[in-house]
Amino acid sequence: GWDKESPPPMLPQEIVEGTAKRYREVYSKLTGQIN
């Protein structure tokens, strides 16, 4: 686990990209805007 005192561990790029994609999809559904 992370002790919250040292820098957090790096996330794999595919996790970062997948999370960003899901946030954009939800944003589009909620607002009707495409970003």
Give the per-residue pLDDT at 35.
Answer: 66
Q: What is the pTM of this model?
A: 0.66
Q: Given CA atoms 29, 33, 34, 35 in this order, what sign does their dihedral have?
A: negative
Please give the pLDDT value at position 2: 82
pLDDT of 30? 94
Q: What is the pLDDT of residues 1-35, one digit of tens each?
A: 789 899 999 999 999 999 999 999 999 999 998 76
| pLDDT on residue 21 | 97
CA angle 23, 10, 35 (to 5 degrees): 20
pLDDT at 1 (0 to 100): 79
What 8-state DSSP symbol labels residue 4?
S
Alpha-carbon span 9 to 3, nearest angstrom: 10
Backbone angles phi, psi at 31, to 5 degrees: -105, -15
The whole-number pLDDT of residue 19 equals 98
